[in-house]
Amino acid sequence: MNICGFNRNRVLPEAQENNVKKHLPRPLSRVNGWSPPLHSFQALTWTTYLTMSIVTFGIFIPFLQTTWKRAANIVMGGVFTFHLIVHLIAITIDPADNNVRLKKDYMKPMPTFDRSKHAHVIQNQYCHLCEVTVSKKAKHCSSCNKCVSGFDHHCKWLNNCVGRRNYWFFFCSVASAAFGLLGMMIILLYVFIQYFVDPDELRTDPLYKEISSENIWLLFPSLWPVPVKTPVVLSIAVMVLLLDIAGFVLLGHLFLFHIYLSMYHSSLATLVHLS
């Protein structure tokens, strides 16, 4: 029933539709992952990173014995810091083709592609949208509105294209994230096993000497101790472990896939060189 007497699904006549398109603002090319519009996956990425950092260094590493606690802080701190650096670099780098970065005006709106004049966006290494000559392995990304050198894919998690200029930073970001999740998994499994074998081994912090009840555990003992009961700690550990396993499976699969691609391209290049 049309309560307001207005048909929201009606289709404009072709002449009017073309007229509307002419008055729509033409899109701009995006420089990198910080260029608008930002993607919701970015917020999810940073939220997950912060959450994992807080629970790893604030909750679960403090359960380890003193020697292992220091080693875990150093190793996990290095992995998390390295991941943060390469992830930021992969986002910030402009992966566009050299001629695009040198000759293209990013503030200039993109022209409208006319398929009646050109069958493809790039023909004879000339991009009709970027209006520059590009390299052989360049591809025009519709999300970033520019040609990317050595285009691999457009990553929604980075909100940026992955190409020749930032591929290895992307690869290191995936690898460090996978190793970080693996390290968290090992720590969590140790905490679970030790809790059922000998929970006193998890209560090594000096603050536990002031607590008489074995049902009370401390979160963030190094900064601001928060006493909670056993079910709270176990619930947090289970949720984090499930999230950890899911992330590790996905990132591990992506990591192995890109290793396979690297080996495949290396073998192919060797065969071409020998022939």
List all residues 6 or more positions away from 43 whose beta carbon is below 8 Å from its beta carbon. none
Task: Give the separation between CA 83 and CA 174, rounded to whole angstroms.
Answer: 8
What is the per-residue pLDDT across 117-161, written as a single tens digit (0 to 9) for each?
Answer: 888 899 999 998 999 999 998 999 989 999 999 999 999 999 999
Catalytic sites, residue numbers: 155
What is the per-residue pLDDT across 71-119, written as a single tens digit (0 to 9) for each?
Answer: 999 999 999 999 999 999 999 999 999 999 998 888 888 888 878 788 8
Is the Cβ–Cβ distance between 207 and 225 less than 8 Å?
yes
pLDDT confidence tier of residue 268, bands split at 50, 70 and 90? low
- Does the pLDDT value for residue 18 go beyond 70? no
What is the per-residue pLDDT across 248-260, written as a single tens digit (0 to 9) for each?
Answer: 999 999 999 989 8
pTM score, whole prediction:
0.84
pLDDT at 21: 45
Task: Give the separation between CA 31 and CA 224, rounded to whole angstroms.
Answer: 42
Instruction: Copy the structure tokens of residue 50.
Output: 């912060």
Task: Give the separation between CA 270 and CA 257, rounded to whole angstroms.
Answer: 20
- Does the pLDDT value for residue 8 go beyond 60? no
